[in-house]
């Protein structure tokens, strides 16, 4: 049975500028690659309403995004840029995330959301790090409101998801595991940052063998799930930890994401997995990483 990949055309229209690394070519390469994968079925989602976003972000933040986009775009914060179509991309991307989450919660299997802009740096009232809203926390809150008791978020993007941690670190029903490069942007994610015992940070230096990153993220996942079984696994699936990415210094290859995914399925056989696309700034490499993760979900 193919894995559904939910997306929305508006995600291709968010354009922070020709020199910006978070380019529409990233998602375009992923979708082109997945059209050749027999194990994948692309599905267009409906745009989200404001309600699931308001469970995470104050209305003033959402109004700021909408207003800046309607004026033709501009800088929200440093390198976090909006264009005229960015607000529609937010709604389309969140719609894809919610569709993937609903699919998984209905017991139909694993799913993936091929979206942009990414989300794991977004704080409650501020976008940063190319991120406008926090997609994975929107998914987690949506799952909790639907009755799920425990949600595990795994973040294997090369950058620490500071926004995700800030939004869940006081919520014992959600556990967050992050492998990320350190020291590196955004400067958060120390191992000592534990929240209410629900945060498991795995900061590591660049240029190490892939086996070290594979082992150490897995150690964090096992620690987070010892005597604590999630009802849903959400993966902040960034692929900028691959060798050669201009925004990271890790050494992963596409097959390593398949290995993590297979281990997850074996370790937590009753929990569906939903991947949400985050970073990855060499479009062709990003596409291969996504494809490898999805094949392992079949």
Alpha-carbon gap, residue 272 to 274, rounded angstroms = 7
Q: Is 120 assigned a catalytic role? A: no
Rounded to the nearest angstrom, the gap between the alpha carbon of residue 29 and the centroid of all alpha carbons in its chain is: 17
Three-class secondary structure of residue 257 per DSSP: helix
d(CA 35, CA 152): 29
Q: Which of 14, 121, 160, 256 is catalytic?
A: 121
User: Residue holding tokens 């849903």?
Assistant: 232
- C-alpha to C-alpha distance for 138 and 7, rounded to whole angstroms: 16
Q: Answer whether 158's CB lies under 8 Å from 239's CB.
A: no
DSSP line for 93-136: HHHHHHHHHHHHHTTS--EEE--SS--TT--SS--BTTBSS-HH
Please give the Cα distance from 150 to 117 (Å, whole number).
Answer: 26
CA–CA separation, 209 vs 175, rounded Å? 27
Peptide bond into 183 cis (omega under 30): yes
* 3-class secondary structure, 83: strand
Handedness of CA 116, 92, 294, 270 (dihedral sign): positive
Residues serving a catalytic function are 121
């Amino acid at each position: 049975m193919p894995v559904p990949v939910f997306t929305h055309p508006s995600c291709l229209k968010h354009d922070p500028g020709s020199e910006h690394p978070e380019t529409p070519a990233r998602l375009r390469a992923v979708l082109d690659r997945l059209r050749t994968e027999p194990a994948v079925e692309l599905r267009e989602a409906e745009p989200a309403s404001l309600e699931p976003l308001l469970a995470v972000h104050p209305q003033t933040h959402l109004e700021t995004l909408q207003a800046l986009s309607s004026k033709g775009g501009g800088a929200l914060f440093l390198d976090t840029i909006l264009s005229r179509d960015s607000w529609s991309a937010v709604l389309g991307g969140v719609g894809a995330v919610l569709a993937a989450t609903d699919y998984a919660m209905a017991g139909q299997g694993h799913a993936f959301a091929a979206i942009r802009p990414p989300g794991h740096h977004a704080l409650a009232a501020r976008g940063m790090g190319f991120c406008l809203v926090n997609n994975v926390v929107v998914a987690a809150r949506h799952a909790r409101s639907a009755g799920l008791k425990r949600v595990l978020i795994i973040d294997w993007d090369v950058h620490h998801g500071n926004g995700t941690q800030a939004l869940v670190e006081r919520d014992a029903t959600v556990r967050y595991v992050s492998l990320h490069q350190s020291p590196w942007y955004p400067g958060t994610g120390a191992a000592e940052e534990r929240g209410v015992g629900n945060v498991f940070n795995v900061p590591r230096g660049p240029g190490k063998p892939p086996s070290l990153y594979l082992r150490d993220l897995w150690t964090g996942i096992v620690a987070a799930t010892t005597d604590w079984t999630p009802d849903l696994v959400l993966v902040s699936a960034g692929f900028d930890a691959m060798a050669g990415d201009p925004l990271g210094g890790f050494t992963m290859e596409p097959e390593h994401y398949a290995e993590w995914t297979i281990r997850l399925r074996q370790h937590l056989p009753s929990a569906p997995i939903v991947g949400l696309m985050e970073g990855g700034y060499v479009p062709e490499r990003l596409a291969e990483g996504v494809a490898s993760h999805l094949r392992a979900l079949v």
